[in-house]
Structure 1
Amino acid sequence: MANDSMPTAKEEAKVKSPPTTLTTKERLSAYFTIAAAAFGLISDGYQNNLMTMANVVFKRLYPNDYTSVVSTRVSNALLVGAVLGQVFVGLICDRIGRKVALVATTALIVLGAILATAAHASTPSGLFWFLTVARGITGVGVGGEYPASSTSASEAANEKMVKQRGPVFIMVTNFVLSFGGPLAVSVFLIVLSAAGENHLQTVWRVAFGIGIALPLTVFYFRMRMLSPKLYRKGAIKRRVPYWLFLKRYWRAIIGTCGAWFLYDFVTFPNGVFSGTIISSVIHNNDIKATAEWQLLLGAIALPGVFVGAYLCNIIGRRNTMMLGFSGYLVFGLIIGLAYDKITKIIPLFVVFYGLMQSCGNMGPGDMLGLVSAESFPTPMRGTGYGLAAAIGKTGAAVGTQAFTPIQNNLGKKWTFIIAAICGVTGVLVTYFFVPDMTGVDLADEDAKFMQYLIENGWEGQVGEDDDKELIHTDITPESDMEKASV
């Protein structure tokens, strides 16, 4: 949708940014930044999916204490922490720097994972409160990783490969996040096979403990990385023009926030409680069988990521996202309307369930991070991305909180019917509010934003304080664009 207040791919730029040349160190740092985003976000995917089988284990170990209320609280702790992390770290990575934000989020994930692994109390209730706090700390790190890693990856990819920025971004963000699901279940199965079902206490602690190692793999590289040059050139750290940002990008904010809320409202509870759903349709309630079907479910959902990465340049970001939301409508209705019959054939149920999640990965799963990174200018990218991701995680928390009451009061089939309704709403929100930035150089959009600030009388400085190669520039209404360039 073209709009005067929102830039689109078809908008003619009033100004063009000067070409960016990178030193050898900056080129290497760009590659490392992209790779570090992938390795960092895989730990997020692992943590997001850790409770899928942990819920099944805790229900077996503590049948009287691990009620639906406790299960929801422990699962939601990560989401509440993630919302806080996404908002505050989004601001930090714009105002202080990408590197500081990345190091801080890694440290928080490690701390939270250590506390969760070592969780102990004299009563089951105390244990689950301990886990709630630990998962909340982990969530702040996990949530902060979204804007910190994703903004850095998009800017680094833009410096190296503008035309392939979308597919590269998807492979180092949503692919590894989605891969975290099968990875978490695979780790659980390996540990379960080694320890046996008589040692479930060991199983869940080892599974949580492995979550400590994953973020540590990138800690060293993040300590040595450079912030992307696009950020170092365009950072605004003082007198940040938030009101002008809202005036120019309000439609994109509504689109990214609304679509992300709907996507996480559906996908997160369906991911967290999928193990419980599958367990309920398996007649003998076997934990290993549940994990095996869960692994198949995750494997079926994964190819959607590759389809989305392939389509995002061909048919555009917005069309790919609408196509994915349409899959919720189709498969949500198929499963929901035929739930009583389809659950009697477990392989068929798992396949359709997986296809619904695969459509989610192909569309909003792939595109939301990408469009949220592309729709906003570099000085405000972390803020805009963090806000959209936080609203998304709010949707996940609401969905997780509502999941059990919906099942208990309306029936399990309604969780899928509601997913179909969210799919229709997602298509409409995407069509009317999400800009399509396919093929647009992020530096060009930055130049348009600077021109917009000049036209609206903003005065301030652009560029990082500590980058000696960059010149601080005063932006005033009387400045021409050459003086505004850094």
Structure 2
Amino acid sequence: MLYRVLDAVTSAKCETGRRARKQLKVLDALDAARTQLYHFTTIVIAGMGFFTDAYDLFSICLVADLLGHIYYQGRGNKLPGSFAGAVSGVALCGTLLGQLFFGWLGDRMGRKRIYGVTLKLMVLCSLASGLSFHRDPECVLATLCFFRFWLGFGVGGDYPLSATIMAEYANKRTRGAFIAAVFAMQGFGNLAAGAVVLMISARFKNTAAYETDPLGQADYVWRIVLMLGAAPALLTYYWRMKMPETARYTALVAKNLKLAASDMAEVLDIDIDAVTDKEDVSPRGGHEFGLFSAEFVRRHGRQLLATTVCWFVLDVVFYSLNLFMKDIFAGIGWFGDADSMGPLEQTYAIARTQAIVAAAGSLPGYVLTVLFVDRMGRIKIQLMGFAMMTIFMLGLAGPYKFWSHPNMHAGFATMYAFVFFFANFGPNSTTFILPTEIFPTRLRSTCNGISAAGGKCGAIIGVLWFQYSRTSVQGSLLMLAGCNLVGVMFTLALPEPKGLSLEDITGEMDEGSEQQSEESVAVTAVDSEFIHSVEIL
């Protein structure tokens, strides 16, 4: 009897394993698919969202001084402290909430269904931000902050959805490069913000109208700059609506393998008959533990803490250096006598500096990440980036007064560009990639949103620190260098997902197979009670 039971159990396990392997055919085909045109199309579709995100978030720091000249003329030509912090940080607050809300919604309703909503919100609020009219300056700025908040809310939704969609469409060999390419569009958006401000301000400051009414012409500039943020989002709206749901969500969350294979065959050149047949069954989905369960904490709690903290400390540094670049460079006399400049001349000088740093430091860093992330691995790049950022920031902060000599300005700008180079060929890219790969499909968008929201908490803290802290620029730079060291420590707690299938990284298919095996063993054991046999001594 004992031998018959064992034989029945073994047969049940083999059958369960065979069916589990069959369930993976659709996803195996996706992992093994050659790189095709639709992969690059998805990069553009998802990447243009990040282009828009970066443009919208970073353009405001270029025109913030214009608002002070226009609405507080004769009162210091600067925004009051409360409004200055709100104009710079309110979009980040919206982004944080959008990342949490749309990340959660993407796992509940599907990636595609929510993808268009975020884009509509970005378009409408970009246009509305430039149409903030009122006689009272406080009302203009309050209206601007209102629409900037909801703009940030839409931007926040783009983070987890774009990352998840690209990861779930990609094959396992080049997945890191594809996700990094989507995120690299942030660099082009940052550069575009500087270029647009340069062109618009140059166009208006060289007119006769500017000689007679400089503030009136400057008022057009900031409105046009903010409203142009709607253009790239509009260009990709149709294609976002045409995208099918990702095969991984349909197969593993919606539990419909047939539809997953059909959707995938519409956009990728694969043999649909090779990945589905009449015996295919929907995955059981394993125990399907929730985000706040003890099982999730045991399996993924340390990883979620590490991705969130790494993104947090990275964004403290990254957004502080981006949004307050003008203050850091002004501290060494980069802009000369700023008080003698007109409003558009000052804006032009700030935008030119940002464009130089973006072109010389940020973009090369993004490109190298795309080229090497699937060769070196995410963890090595992140560790290298945090370490090199620390070294260069100490080089900026230690002799900060030394850089104020006019002959040293070029050296300061070069080292500043190197910080951004290693941020982007480092944690600014990898903190975006890792949360998209190491969490289960049914929680992937949510966990990415939580990690990204941790980053925006860091960005908000950085804004508040630079806006209201009485610490010197040198002391602030030293504090930012310390943040990088925290990132190094928490990076060591993360796994390396290079070259692995998403399901192999998360173990979610194994989890389903284990449950099915246990159930099959239990059923077989019960049935075995009715087997009449003679025990062998």
Shorter-chain-normalised TM-score: which range? 0.7 to 0.9
> 1:5 maps to which residue?
none
Tell me which structure has the larger Cα radius of gyration: 2
Cα gap change, 1:324 to 1:127, in 2 (>3 Å): same
Unaligned runs of 5+ in 1: 1-14, 458-474, 481-486
Higher mean C-alpha deviation, range 242-251 or range 164-173? 242-251
For the pair 1:380 / 2:443, whether they are aligned, the reply is yes
Cα gap change, 1:410 to 1:157, in 2 (>3 Å): same
For the pair 1:39 / 2:48, whether they are aligned, the reply is yes
2:450 is matched by which residue type in structure 1?
Answer: L
**1:60 Cα deviation (Å)?**
2.8
For the pair 1:241 / 2:254, whether they are aligned, the reply is no
Cα gap change, 1:147 to 1:354, in 2 (>3 Å): same
User: Residues 297-327 of structure 1, C-alpha deviation per residue, up to 9 Å, x if partnerless?
Assistant: 1112221112223332232211110110012
> 1:150 maps to which residue?
163
Cα gap change, 1:89 to 1:427, in 2 (>3 Å): same
* Alpha-carbon separation, structure 1, partners of 2:322 and 2:519: 54
8 Å CA contact 2:60–2:226 kept in 1: the answer is no
**1:241 Cα deviation (Å)?**
2.7
> 2:182 maps to which residue?
172
8 Å CA contact 1:32–1:225 kept in 2: the answer is no
Residue number among 279, 303, 306 corresponding to 1:255 in the alignment: 306
Higher mean C-alpha deviation, range 244-253 or range 185-194? 244-253
Higher mean C-alpha deviation, range 293-302 or range 354-363? 293-302
* Alpha-carbon separation, structure 1, partners of 2:520 and 2:328: 61
* Alpha-carbon separation, structure 2, partners of 1:37 and 1:410: 39
8 Å CA contact 1:335–1:349 kept in 2: the answer is yes
* Alpha-carbon separation, structure 1, partners of 2:439 and 2:517: 22
> Could you say what secondary structure the match of 2:519 adopts?
coil
Residue number among 6, 20, 25 corresponding to 1:18 in the alignment: 25
User: Residues 87-122 of structure 1, C-alpha deviation per residue, up to 9 Å, x if partnerless?
Assistant: 010011111011112101101101211210101122
Residue number among 483, 490, 515 corresponding to 1:429 in the alignment: 490
Residue number among 193, 198, 210 corresponding to 1:189 in the alignment: 198
**1:155 Cα deviation (Å)?**
1.1
**1:450 Cα deviation (Å)?**
3.8
Cα gap change, 1:435 to 1:343, in 2 (>3 Å): farther
8 Å CA contact 1:236–1:379 kept in 2: the answer is no
Counterparts of residues 404-423 of structure 1 (less than 5 Å): 404-406=467-469, 409-423=470-484
* Alpha-carbon separation, structure 1, partners of 2:242 and 2:38: 9
RMSD over aligned Cα, in angstroms? 2.3
> 2:374 maps to which residue?
313
* Alpha-carbon separation, structure 2, partners of 1:267 and 1:389: 13
Q: Number of paired residues?
A: 438
The list of structure 1 runs, each at least 4 consecutive aligned residues, that deviate by more than 6 angstroms after superposition, is 237-240
8 Å CA contact 2:126–2:226 kept in 1: the answer is yes
For the pair 1:114 / 2:121, whether they are aligned, the reply is no
* Alpha-carbon separation, structure 2, partners of 1:57 and 1:108: 26
* Alpha-carbon separation, structure 2, partners of 1:476 and 1:206: 62
Counterparts of residues 293-332 of structure 1 (less than 5 Å): 293-302=353-362, 303-332=364-393
**1:236 Cα deviation (Å)?**
5.8
Cα gap change, 1:29 to 1:310, in 2 (>3 Å): closer
Unaligned runs of 5+ in 2: 1-19, 256-284, 522-537
Residue number among 231, 247, 255 corresponding to 1:213 in the alignment: 231
8 Å CA contact 1:90–1:384 kept in 2: the answer is yes
For the pair 1:227 / 2:245, whether they are aligned, the reply is yes
User: Residues 223-249 of structure 1, C-alpha deviation per residue, up to 9 Å, x if partnerless?
Assistant: 111011122111269976322333311
**1:419 Cα deviation (Å)?**
1.5
For the pair 1:277 / 2:342, whether they are aligned, the reply is no
* Alpha-carbon separation, structure 2, partners of 1:336 and 1:453: 53
User: Residues 13-39 of structure 1, C-alpha deviation per residue, up to 9 Å, x if partnerless?
Assistant: xx76335447x9x97765533321011
> Could you say what secondary structure the match of 1:410 adopts?
coil
Counterparts of residues 339-350 of structure 1 (less than 5 Å): 339-344=400-405, 345-350=408-413
* Alpha-carbon separation, structure 1, partners of 2:240 and 2:356: 34
> 1:268 maps to which residue?
319
Higher mean C-alpha deviation, range 314-323 or range 288-297? 288-297
* Alpha-carbon separation, structure 2, partners of 1:149 and 1:246: 25
2:246 is matched by which residue type in structure 1?
Answer: P
Between the aligned residues of both structures, percent identity stands at 27
2:202 is matched by which residue type in structure 1?
Answer: S
* Alpha-carbon separation, structure 2, partners of 1:298 and 1:60: 26
Cα gap change, 1:454 to 1:402, in 2 (>3 Å): farther
For the pair 1:335 / 2:417, whether they are aligned, the reply is no
For the pair 1:478 / 2:527, whether they are aligned, the reply is no
* Alpha-carbon separation, structure 2, partners of 1:325 and 1:311: 17
* Alpha-carbon separation, structure 1, partners of 2:490 and 2:464: 23
* Alpha-carbon separation, structure 2, partners of 1:347 and 1:68: 31
> Could you say what secondary structure the match of 2:425 adopts?
helix
User: Residues 256-313 of structure 1, C-alpha deviation per residue, up to 9 Å, x if partnerless?
Assistant: 0000000001111211111343345211224122221221111122211122233322
